[in-house]
Amino acid sequence: MLRRRTAAVVSPPRPSLVVCALGPRRIALPVGRIVAVDRIASYTPLPADDPATLGIALHRGRLIPLVDLGPRLGSRGARPLTLPALCVVVRSDHGELAFPVDEVVGFAPAGDDRFRETVTVLDPAELGGPYG
């Protein structure tokens, strides 16, 4: 009787991060936290203490905060926003929020350390959190 040998299949690591361009930066977010990537045609500015919070956008019938990640990542000021703006909508621990990006560059496996020198991996859970 022949024994069937199971071939060792090495599957490529599943991409679990989405990599986006934000100015000169590359940022990455876990796929599981991303609700959508959409163009947002308009938003309503809402005066706020945090210069990173731009206002409110309507996305799929829901009002969600629009946040500029630049100041959160250390940029001095918020960037001018050209509409329609490509935005990533994520689920944070403070509810859904959207932030503009220049481009979605691609996908990457979470465990791959090779790109960590050039890409900032963000924790969306904390994106809506304290600023300072």
Partner 1 sequence: MGLRRDPAPSATPATTPPARRYVVFSLAGVEYAIVAAHVKHSLPATAGLGTEVRCQDRAYPLLDLRALFRLAPSAEPTRFVLVVEGTERSAGLVVDALVRLAPLEEAAIQPLSPVFRGREREWFAGLARLGSRIVPVIRVDGILNEAAAPTVPALPRAAVAGPAAG
Q: Give the footprint of partner 1 on this chain (CB under 8 A).
A: 41-51, 53-56, 58, 63-65, 67-68, 77-83, 92, 94-95, 97, 128, 130
Q: How far is the CB of 67 from partner 1 (least distance, A)?
A: 7
Q: How far is the CB of 90 from partner 1 (least distance, A)?
A: 11
Q: How far is the CB of 57 from partner 1 (least distance, A)?
A: 8
Instruction: Give the gyration radius of the chain's Cα atoms.
Output: 18
For partner 1, give the closer residue by CB, 18 or 67: 67
For partner 1, give the closer residue by CB, 27 or 119: 27
Q: Which amino acid does the sequence have at 68? A: D
For partner 1, give the closer residue by CB, 25 or 79: 79
For partner 1, give the closer residue by CB, 107 or 131: 131
Q: How far is the CB of 66 from partner 1 (least distance, A)?
A: 9
